[in-house]
Structure 1
């Protein structure tokens, strides 16, 4: 693994394969350092990061304000558990609640934990507030969803890679086509307590629903006394050009499910944010997490919220996203892409599967200094950090254009 005192990529890749479970198929790149939107591998090659940790790195690698907040907190206090209150907790919860227009926050660690939390809270709310008999609460979800990979969450996944072979599955979920309001209306009955949706489906290939869909979901939930749970783990916190993807239709869900970028690319931080009328159903001992809301997480998360409060990163995403999508549409009009979707600095592009697979495109782009990730065969996703400039966007498009030729 070490040659002439230096790490080498082939040996590092071999060791990674040898000592870890093969639940990922990474590109043959071993990253050693990173700053902003750019990373450098252990052989000294630089790459534009157009994945950004699946939106966990919205503010780029090692953002100075986030690193400073983490360093300062490391010198003071890192963990207490929720058995005690620490001095960073209230600021984080208050400022995140204000960003979301809600009045209560439940901090967790990972996105999947936040989704599990949302499911539990919705069922508890359905039993205590709506009056659905205990054990009978149902939740409507969308086909093509990706909310995580815990046993409960994969129970309502329609992706065979995530689901098959991991049964028995958790009951209580109804799956309807994404973007189909009529099907959603038909699925809501007296046992339904919530509708759980991604405002834009990320893992599916950055699928944007039809105009008016989120407004229709909000209306159906309100009329049927059902909670609207918006999974904004990937789409939220500036990614789409607004603070939240729901903002594009002026929709306010009953609950925001947040993660990824909330940790600033430093620590895993997630949260469920709602009003007291929803989150207030929980009582001590009914839900928790040893590391959820720890001092280090709160210090970094608070700084993330303050970065977003200025609106700068949302504007950057909208401006550079417009540049990105204009260039992608031009490639589509030239017949070099089958389809282009997305909002802000987030795009899903479909390739001609007869020309190359998504994996092949990602490998060829990596050879040219751009890191992206494929999904579902011939689709690749672009999600650069919100700190990219116009030259970075142009560089990514130039390399994609070359690969497509």
Structure 2
């Protein structure tokens, strides 16, 4: 099967997916999905035989209407959203033995979020989480990650018909952590899903978000925030597959980078299929370079196979810290450190202000400012 994976695929939809680990071999670095990733820093996640631990999950806050269950891999709710699409994703499927299923029951509207802490040690570990919002339900699920991880993770997210679901994944790993995560997302008829990934820690973190619409009328908003320090590699990949009519999507990822060899990668793939009439989609990536020696790669891709759409587009920009903004603020009596902080805070404000959980908003702003202070 090596020739299938290493060859160039004309369409994003042609790339192989499988639940069989033998179908997706170890990458060599020439594959489109891996050409930006430093393989030596992630290759220990490629062997399904090397996993000895599972991540520790603890529900810090769980409204009484919500069901949180530990189940085996043969549970019928597991493995129902798409199929793994790269080596780490298929290995994560092969290696796990227990999944955590979080269910917001039909018609339930949560007043408070579900908060789950995920902690992983430096031992090679797996994690499988299933988040289900049943029809006409409404709620928010927050996943908080920390520890000296070597973690390969799968998160299945299903917003069923008429549901309104918000999922937030915050990654604040220790500096030497290695983490790969495949979020597989499904949006039902007239359902709405808001998905936010925040990545602030780790040595190498690679988060892939693959999506599907299962019926017309779905709304999908994919947002991301990342702050890359010296020597870190933070990589985010998004695939929005518009296969149903009258669906809407917006993708907005923003990142800041500082320090020697700070590296970010953002890949935004969007496919509008021939049956996806009246699609409305747009993807945006912005990167702010705060110092010399940092590098951001940004690759938006848009494939359109349908001429009857509402709108489609993408934009990407990477720029250095604006010295004129800094000078303007300093001329008003603001110190250089505070001016820098205000510019970065304003850069991320669009996405952070969308978070409805106040303590999460405040924590993220504090965490970003701590990293700015650390550089000084």
Using the size of structure 2 for normalisation, the TM-score is 0.28
Which of 1 and 2 has greater Rg?
1
Which has a greater percent of strand? Answer: 2
Which has a greater percent of helix? Answer: 1
Which structure would you say has the larger RCO, counting Cα contacts within 8 Å and 6 or more residues apart?
A: 1
